[in-house]
Amino acid sequence: MNAFPIMFGMAATAATLMGGLLALRFSSRIVLVLGVTAGVVMGVALFDLVPEALELAAPRWSSRAITGWIGVGLGTYMFIDRAFGRTQRLPIRWRAHFAPATLTLHSFFDGLGIGLAFQIDMQAGWIVAIAVLTHDVADGVNTVSLCLAAQAESAARRWLLLNAAAPLVGVLVGLGIAVSSAMLAPLLAMFAGVFLYIGACELLPRSHALDPRPRTTFASLSGMALMFAVTSVVH
């Protein structure tokens, strides 16, 4: 078995723990991290996953079909996020557990994506893993902050541990699922759609809500520029 996916799963666990611990200790100083993370995640989708999917698509898939798969990824993740993310109507004691549980499921799917991407090829695995790692810091932050918003610090620590373990479990499951060559390009396109939603609809609004000053916007643009530079060098 390729050791890299397992190593990235362990790194994702560490990143989630780091984000959660930062949120517990420095709750007012992490907004720029979220801003940069949003830019990095969107940059991975726009500058690596989409071009890679289009390159792998020929001659089996048209460019229009690939953009359709991007929409499928974005739409599916949006549906799941909104279906399971309506916590404001719940009693406050339930919110302390329900919202972090959805984030833990999210982290499991992150790990699943790493495992599947490494079956496509090594480069796809690395790119997806890097994107997951960057926003897993934010997952740790979100898990803790949602619990703290419900006034449940003890629950925050427990859910942080569960959320941190979820990516590694997802990697192991992903490595056990066979991926056909015909689905390689659509799979990358769906990853791109998922990351576009995470960056544009979760991380960007959250970072801007925490700090609407221009520095947060510049942090996100810097994250995108960084990924453009990195992917340009790689390609």
Supply 6's token pair. 């397992």
pLDDT tens digits, 122-172: 877 888 888 788 777 777 877 776 666 555 667 778 888 998 999 999 999
188-to-212, 214, 221 alpha-carbon distances in Å: 33, 32, 23
pTM of the predicted model, to two decimals?
Answer: 0.68
| Measured distance CA(191)–CA(171) in Å, rounded | 15
1-43 pLDDT, tens digit per residue, is 578 889 989 999 998 888 888 777 765 566 777 788 788 888 8
Residue with tokens 């619990």: 147
Between helices 153-175 and 122-149, what is the axis angle to 10°? 160
